[in-house]
């Protein structure tokens, strides 16, 4: 097996703690347009997928989908900085990978500009030259297209890459693209949902992200699964 030379990161729930912002934005849009409250399982099921896909599960009219997206984004942008923060140790770990010379990129289902805002707000602004957002590709996670786009932009091969994420959609996209996969234990999905994706590695804490090196994936034992938050 080739050593890891490329690390692709999901953003929300992986490097930045924006889950409360996402949940409240989603609930606001559904409340405004559909006049009801959401169960946890409803908003969580779509987490990590594009807003268009999520809201099309509730309404079929394309204009109403667009209206829900606009409502979501308006609330999200207005409350972004007060509700978003980096996971402790994540920025330092990514910086260590950057300084070691590994190729790194963001692969997210949010808008490119919104991803850049989150990175800058949380101390990652100078670390990622390559960011693949929902508006950069035609197909989206769990489809492999965004992962393959990031690899192409980096000029790297999937065999020496790992896709790191907090959701089954991240892991499925990486697997389909031919990368190794790593599940993080601090996101909103429970461990059973992630274990079902058979990730190659489990990462117990954000600081452990620095364990990836050009030689090996130090300390990321796929047989030592850590329970995710909420398990």
Note the pLDDT tens digit of each residue in 20-33. 999 999 999 999 99
**CA 180 to CA 100: how far, in whole Å?**
20
Domains in the chain, CATH or no CATH each: 6-17+85-211 (3.40.50.1000), 19-83 (1.10.150)
> What confidence score (pLDDT) does residue 224 get?
42
Q: How confident is the model at residue 213 (pLDDT cuts 50, 70, 90)?
A: low
> What confidence score (pLDDT) does residue 193 get?
92
> What confidence score (pLDDT) does residue 223 get?
43
Q: So which residues are the catalytic ones?
A: 10
Phi, psi of 6 (to 5 degrees): -135, 130
Cross-strand bridge partners of residue 229: none
pLDDT at 214 over 60: no
The answer, as to whether pTM is greater than 0.85, is yes
At 202 the three-state DSSP class reads strand
pLDDT at 219 over 80: no
**CA 120 to CA 46: how far, in whole Å?**
25
As a whole number, mean pLDDT of residues 79-98 equals: 96
Q: What is the mean pLDDT of the chain?
A: 90
pLDDT tens per residue, range 131-152: 999 999 999 999 999 999 999 9
pLDDT at 215 over 70: no
pLDDT at 228 over 80: no
pLDDT tens per residue, range 175-208: 999 999 999 999 999 899 999 999 999 999 999 9
- Residue with the bigger pLDDT between 179 and 2: it is 179
For β-strands 85-86 and 16-17, DSSP reports them as antiparallel
- What are 95's two structure tokens? 């910086």
Helix%, strand%, coil% for the chain, nearest 5: 45, 15, 40
> What confidence score (pLDDT) does residue 45 get?
81
**CA 9 to CA 122: how far, in whole Å?**
15
Q: How confident is the model at residue 229 (pLDDT cuts 50, 70, 90)?
A: very low
> What confidence score (pLDDT) does residue 230 get?
35
> What confidence score (pLDDT) does residue 1 get?
63
> What confidence score (pLDDT) does residue 68 get?
96
> What confidence score (pLDDT) does residue 44 get?
83
Instruction: Tell me the percentage of the chain whose pLDDT exceeds 70.
Output: 91
């Amino acid at each position: 097996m080739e050593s890891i030379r490329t690390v692709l990161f999901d953003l929300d729930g992986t490097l930045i703690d924006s889950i409360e912002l996402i949940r409240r934005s989603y609930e606001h849009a559904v409340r405004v347009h559909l006049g009801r409250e959401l169960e946890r399982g409803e908003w969580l099921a779509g987490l990590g997928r594009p807003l268009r896909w999520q809201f099309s599960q509730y309404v079929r009219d394309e204009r109403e989908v667009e209206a829900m997206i606009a409502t979501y984004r308006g609330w999200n942008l207005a409350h972004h900085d007060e509700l978003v923060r980096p996971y402790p140790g994540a920025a330092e770990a990514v910086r260590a990978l950057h300084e070691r010379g590994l190729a790194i990129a963001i692969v997210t289902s949010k808008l490119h500009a919104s991803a850049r805002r989150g990175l800058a707000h949380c101390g990652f602004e100078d670390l990622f030259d390559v960011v693949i957002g929902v508006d950069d590709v035609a197909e989206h996670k769990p489809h492999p297209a965004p992962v393959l786009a990031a690899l192409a932009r980096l000029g790297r091969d999937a065999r020496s890459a790992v896709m790191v994420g907090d959701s089954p959609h991240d892991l499925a996209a990486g697997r389909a693209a031919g990368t190794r996969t790593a599940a993080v234990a601090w996101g909103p999905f429970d461990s059973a949902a992630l274990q079902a994706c058979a990730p190659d590695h489990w990462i117990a804490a954000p600081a452990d992200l620095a364990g990836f090196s050009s030689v090996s994936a130090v300390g990321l034992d796929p047989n030592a699964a850590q329970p995710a938050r909420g398990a």
